[in-house]
Structure 1
Amino acid sequence: MNTSLAQKLKNLPNSPGVYFHKSTSGEVIYVGKAAVLKNRVRQYFQANRDIDAKTRALVAEIEDTDWIETDSEIDALFLESEMVKRYMPRYNILLRDDKSQLYVRIDIKSEWPHVSFTRNPADDKARYIGPFYNGHALKKALRYLRKVFPYYTKPPGTHRVDFDVHLGLSPRSDMTSQEYKSSLKKLIRYIEGDKLTITRELERDMNRAARQQQFEIAAELRNRLGYLRELQRRIMFGDKEFLDISKDRALDDLRLLLGLASIPARVEGYDISHMSGTNVVASMVVFTNGVSDRTEYRKFKMHKEQNNDFANMFETLSRRFSEKNRSRWKLPDICLIDGGKGQLDSAITARDQAGLTIPMIGLAKQHEEIVVHLERSRVRLDHKVLERLDGHTMTSDKFTLISLPHSSHIVKLLQRIRDESHRFAVTYHTTLKRTSQTKSTLEDIPGIGPVTRKKLIKAFGSLRGIEQASQTDITQVVGDKLAQRIISFVKS
């Protein structure tokens, strides 16, 4: 261990957090979480510690260590998962002892979904969250969160009342399927980083129940808020809450390669999703200091349905850079467009018409090449940096295609942003597609107008949800007479 690192380890805090071991080149070679950073990180360098060969090899490569403090162990767990996906450190693979990653599985389409864990996601329409790399810690975190968002751990029986209900770990016996699913969706959003919004929603619901003199429900929501606050505030990725950004190799290399004025603290990624020009949507994902910042994500539904990704990208960026959205949302330091020359050119045109000078690049899928417009991308390619990164270029039609090794920090970062924008766009497109299918079917039922259709879609989400709902559940939404008509039509 070098003198600089030894001095640095003396300043380790006693708080929970995530730590990053780095090699001589600055590469992040291992990401881990700790309940107490001071104790956990120092363990690696204890001379008399009995460690296996793989860990010994890791320690031999460690030249520097950084860390992020979090407000709770649960926050550290979720942040660790995000950072492993962000950096893909090689020792996280080597030290996993051949264990696969763990996912949280929620069969959200069932009438009474339950939460479970799996190492092998299946194409069964269930919701999978992950992957996570510490199964024991993940299960412990979900046990704590169960007090805030009560859920079943196995398919409930006919009567549903069990001992966990009395402990507040399973949903109340008088809770409807829709209310239960709404609670589960909050759990999913919490895991994905939207805790502040969820806290505000729980406070709003508690105050509403109190005004309506539903004091038992208000008390339950008060208790859930208390449990949530015990977990402390979910870490938000602000400029001062992440690692020293100048030490992030991918962001710094990106700045140098493209000649940016400063390290791109806010990167926005865009993608288009549709099926033959129907249910056309776009996603905007935000990475702050190299980490996904889900509270800043936005989605767009195209005003005009067309099978033209260039026109759809132009509309998306035009709306994003409208005067209203520029004042509501922060402007990015650079934009990443999922696609090649055409998509990038359309995005740049929208930016230019908005009178902005934000740098823009694309990422072509086939060979993971960075696409840059020679005159309009607002970047200055540094060929010395390109050579240092073992990259090369090819120029045609005023565009330069930059090829870097797929193992490089820059490519890993851009792939992560591109994949996240694709996932977010496809998820929104799938939701709209199911909703439109449900809507078209409901239009065939006599007496079901737009207002009633909207209520049903909001309550059950899809035609399958309506088919699986009981007549009692549907009656609570539209009344007994319409419920009987819907039931008889759907069953037939």
Structure 2
Amino acid sequence: MMINEVLQEKLKLLPTKSGVYLMKNKQKQIIYVGKAINLKNRVRQYFQSSRNHSAKTIAMVSHIEDFETIVTDNELEALILECNLIKKHHPKYNIMLRDDKTYPYLKITLNEKYPRIVTTRRLIKDGSRYFGPYTSSTAMKETLNLLRKLFPLRTCKHLADRPCLEYHIKRCLAPCANYIDEDTYKEMVDGVCLFLEGKSEVVEQNLAKKMQMAAQNLDFEKAARLRDQLLAVRKIMEKQKILLDDGDIDAIGIARANYGICIEIFFIRNGKMLGRNQFLLNDEDDDEKNLITAFLKQYYNDAVDIPKEILIPEEIAEIELLQEWLWTEKKKKTKILLPKRGVKKDILTMAKENAEKYLLEQEQKLKDMKARSLGAVYDLQKYLSLPKPPMRMECFDISHIQGSETVASMVVFQDGKPDKNSYRRFKINSTEGKPDDFMSMREVTT
């Protein structure tokens, strides 16, 4: 391939140290971020014979007009910098989670006198505890509603002088009016944290003990409230599938289909299945090892709940480096394992099957959407004997008040879908004082 003079000079001056390289196009946009133990060897490989390059790499190299390198002391620092730069710049040719958006978290505001449980999309080091991320906001809201029923923590942003409606409908214990002491309130907050950590047995034991003590003290109203909480916790525990005797594990399954690539992650805490998330990847040409490596970097760079073990379906090259990175960044001694047999292998298989199922569902949803949009357009062409399908439709309606204040509205459909940015409303002048829908329609359409 032809290399411009700037690139040729820069390739000669490349250092042999570890670091990060940033590939740029004509517009000086960063299109790829990578790391290397030896920058000189790694970067020069891109501009050598393309015989061993993938189609994606060949396409990327054809757009490179310049590059930049950042030297680090070791490969671990290079990995940390690479993760941060990918997150910041979203390069076109890096493997990315599709629709790379910020996912919601549940936040316990431990920095407040009487903590609340709220939702957020921003992780801030303010002393709060975060649980998540949740890819399904519906699942997160269900969890939040359940927690607020089990543990009536305050929901108001500022403590009021007197109890509000939440207290009267038994959704809050009114710490603002000192109806509950700090220690009792703190016990509820601890219960929320234990529940979200998957330690529902501890929550059950604590509730049972408090219920018995309240009954012995003849505080039957409190005992009844604790009994209801206890029954709700037990009902949830019955739904949680027990997969292992013990252990905090994330299991990762990967599947490909016509629709794309899906990674499914199972969350197992204390041996029980707490939940799962699905992520779609934007790169269908890469092999599974690269996809898994990229996913681990992106997902755990933001994750707040890091397990003791991460199960992966394919052997990857950077296992030790990623384990060291998790310890350095998250202070968690996590093992990344590739189980060959036993229960953990079965869990991986189940994660893969669920990833395949999710892709099929997404593919079917896409087909249904096309049938309702483009399919409907082609049906309309057929039934109305039109020479070509009506890809753009402008639909008008006239409205007036007994002949005065006449207006027309226009809604637009593009490719069978509403194009709300093109909706318009018109003031009609030609028929003021006398109702005439035909003349009004003539004015608005001409």
TM-score above 0.5: no
Q: Quickly name the TM-score band, shorter chain normalised.
A: 0.3 to 0.5
TM-score for both structures, normalised by structure 2: 0.35
- Specify the structure having the higher radius of gyration (Cα): 2
